[in-house]
Chains A and B, each alone.
Chain A
Amino acid sequence: MVEDMNKVMNSGVSSSASPSKVIGVSVYSDNVQSAEGNTPALEMIMESQDLKVHYGSYLAVRDVNLQVHKNEITALIGPSGCGKSTILRCFNRMNDLIPTAKVSGSVIYRGIDLYGPDANAGEVRRRIGMVFQKPNPFPKSIFDNVAFGPRVNGKPSKQETEELVERSLKRAALWDEVKDRLKQSAFSLSGGQQQRLCIARALAVDPDVLLMDEPCSALDPIATGRIEDLMHEIKGEYPIVIVTHNMQQAARVSNRTAFFNTEVDADATRPTGVLVEYDSTQKIFSAPSDPRTEQYISGRMG
C-alpha cells in the first residue's frame, strides 16, 4: 500500500516528466535498468508457463511461455485467430467470464500464480488493468467513468475521488481537453478521446501492469499516434502488454515482441495458436531466428 501511494503521489506531481516516473517506480527495485536494449538484469513482472487455453474441447492456443518486464512494452503479434487476444485475457483472468474457456498452465505475477489459491479474480483485475479493442466508455459522465474503478475498489471521499480523477486524466493526456466538461456524457468524446478515457479509467485504480487489446484498431492515424505517444510516456510506470495486428505499430512502440502463428495439430481439425518466437523487438524485426517469423514479417512488410 505504501508503495502504491508513493507511486501515485510521485506521478501525480509531474505527469509528463519521465525521470520522476522512474523514481516513482524505483521503490520496487533499487537498480533501474534502461528499458531499451536487451538487458538481462531487467526485473520480470509476469511470466506465463506452458499456458494453454481450451474452448470446450477445442485447443485454442498452447505452450505459451513469455515474460513481461518492468519499464517495457511487450507486443503480441500474429495472424488473426492465432490466440494472441486469448493469451492477453489470461493475464488478468478475463477468460473467467467465458464459461467454456479453460486455462491450464500458469501465469506467475510477482511470484504468485494468478490461477492459484492465493489470487482473487477481482484483485487480479484491479492490479492488472485492461484496455479494449473498441473504446468502451460506460454510459455515464466523463467523471463517473474514471471514478467508477476507485469506487468499486474502496470508498474514496469526494475530495480523494476528484483528485484521483484529475490525476488519472492528466496521466492519460486527456485533462486539458475535458477539464471543463467532466459532467458531460463520455459518448460526447471522439473515438480517440474515448480510448484515452478508457486508459485513464484503467489508470485510476493504480494498476501494476496494463494490458491493451488492439487499442488503436478503431481509431484514425492521428488518434493512434497520440495513444502510442501516451504508451511511451507511461510505460515507465506501467509495463504494457499490447496485442496488435499492425506490425509497424509493434515495431514502433514495443521493446519485446512475441510472434504467434496457427498450426493444425495432428489430432485436431481447427488450427491452434502457438508462440513461435519471443525476443527483443529489434531482433524479431531485423533477424528473426525462426523462418516462420521471417516469412510473416517480410510478407507483410515487404
Chain B
Amino acid sequence: MNSTLPEKHILQPSGLKLRQQRTEVVIKVLLAVIAASCVLITTGVVVALVRPTIDFFGEVGITEFLFTTDWFPLYEPPDFGVWPLVVGTFTVMLIAVIIAVPGGLFVAFFLSEYASPRTKRYLKPFLEILAGVPTVVFGFFALNFIAPNVARKIWVFSDVGFYSALAAGITVGLMILPMMTTLAEDAMAAVPRSLIDGAYALGATKRETCTGVIFPAGLSGIIAAGVIAMSRAIGETTIVLLAAGSTANFTFNAGEPMQTMSSFIGFAGLGDQPTDSTGYRTIFAVGSMLFIITFGLNMLSQRIVTRFREVYE
C-alpha cells in the first residue's frame, strides 16, 4: 500500500454515519414541530377568545357594556353592564396586593438581611410548602377561617357575611405572599454586596441599609414583582369563587359579596350555557378582558425589569 496517495474514502461518512445523519435530520424536524406547537397554544387562546368576543359585542353593544352598572348576563332579561365585575376585580386585587406586596417585601428583608442561616433553612421550606398549597384549599381556608376569624373581626365599616370580597382578598393576598417573597428576594440578591457593605461601613443600621440602600437599588425588580402579584391576584378564580360569593354587586364595600371577572367566568361555566347563546359568549368577552389585562401587566413587568435594570460593574 502506498501511503502517500490520498485515500479519499477514509474520512467520508460510513454507511452507519450516513444513517445517523439522516436520523439527525428527522429528529431535528420532529423537535422543531414540537417546539412550534407551543406557539400554537397561544394562538389557540387568542383565536378562541376573539371570535365569540366579536360576536358578543355585535349582540350587546359596547355602550351598554361600558356605561351601565348592572351585571346579570345569565338572567332574563339580561343586563350587561361590566362595572360590577371591574369594581369587584379591583377590590379583591387591591386587598390582596396590600397584603402580599408589603408582606412579601418584609419577609424578603428578613430573609436577606436578618435571618441566620439556620432560621433561613427552616423558613424557606415553609414558604415553599405554602406556595404549593392548591388554591381550592385556600378557598376552604377563606370560608372556614379567614371569613369568621379575620375578616369579620377587622372590618369596622359594616357587617361581614358568609361571603365577602374582603375574605377573598385577604386569602388571595396570603396565597401570593410566597411568590412575592421569592421575587423580592431575587431583586434584592441582584443588589451588589459591595453597595450593601458600603452602607454598613458608614455605620448604617440594618434597617437603614434595607430602606436606604437595598430597597432603592432593587426597586425596579420589586415593582416588577408587585405588578406580577397584581396579575396573579386578578387571575385567581377558585378562592374568589368560593369566598366572595356569586353575585355581582355594584358596591365599594369590601364586606359584601362581589364577583370578579375570573370568578364570573368560573360561575358562568357551571351553568352549562348552550353554545350558541349570548350567555355563553359572555364568558369569552370577559375572558378577553381578563387576558388583555393580565397580559398587559406581565408585559409591563418585563419592561420594568429590562428598562430600569441598574447595571452594576
Which A residues are closer than 8 A to B by beta carbons? Answer: 3, 27-29, 43, 109-112, 114, 118-120, 122-124, 127, 153-154
- Asked whether, in the complex, the Cβ of B17 is within 8 Å of the Cβ of A111, the reply is no
Residues of A within 8 A of B3 (CB): 28-29, 43, 110
- Asked whether, in the complex, the Cβ of B10 is within 8 Å of the Cβ of A127, the reply is yes
Which B residues are closer than 8 A to A by beta carbons? Answer: 1, 3-8, 10-14, 16-17, 20
Q: Kindly count the residue-residue contacts between A and B in the assembled complex, taking CB atoms under 8 Å apart.
A: 45
Closest A residue, CB atoms, query B16: A154
| B291 shortest CB reach to chain A, Å | 37
Q: How far is the CA of A43 from the CA of B2 in the complex (A)?
A: 11
Residues of A within 8 A of B6 (CB): 110-112
| A43 shortest CB reach to chain B, Å | 7
- Asked whether, in the complex, the Cβ of B5 is within 8 Å of the Cβ of A119, the reply is no
Q: How far is the CA of A27 from the CA of B2 in the complex (A)?
A: 10
Q: How far is the CA of A29 from the CA of B292 in the complex (A)?
A: 75
Residues of A within 8 A of B4 (CB): 111
- Asked whether, in the complex, the Cβ of A123 is within 8 Å of the Cβ of B12, the reply is yes
- Asked whether, in the complex, the Cβ of B12 is within 8 Å of the Cβ of A118, the reply is yes
Q: Which 5 A-B residue pairings sit nearest by Cβ, starting from the closest?
A: A111-B6, A120-B13, A119-B11, A123-B11, A28-B3
| B18 shortest CB reach to chain A, Å | 9
- Asked whether, in the complex, the Cβ of A120 is within 8 Å of the Cβ of B12, the reply is yes
Residues of B within 8 A of A109 (CB): 11
| A99 shortest CB reach to chain B, Å | 16
- Asked whether, in the complex, the Cβ of B8 is within 8 Å of the Cβ of A153, the reply is no
- Asked whether, in the complex, the Cβ of A120 is within 8 Å of the Cβ of B11, the reply is yes
Residues of B within 8 A of A127 (CB): 10-11
Q: How far is the CA of A153 from the CA of B20 in the complex (A)?
A: 10
Q: How far is the CA of A4 from the CA of B17 in the complex (A)?
A: 18
- Asked whether, in the complex, the Cβ of A124 is within 8 Å of the Cβ of B16, the reply is no
- Asked whether, in the complex, the Cβ of A114 is within 8 Å of the Cβ of B11, the reply is yes
Closest B residue, CB atoms, query A119: B11
Q: How far is the CA of A114 from the CA of B14 in the complex (A)?
A: 16
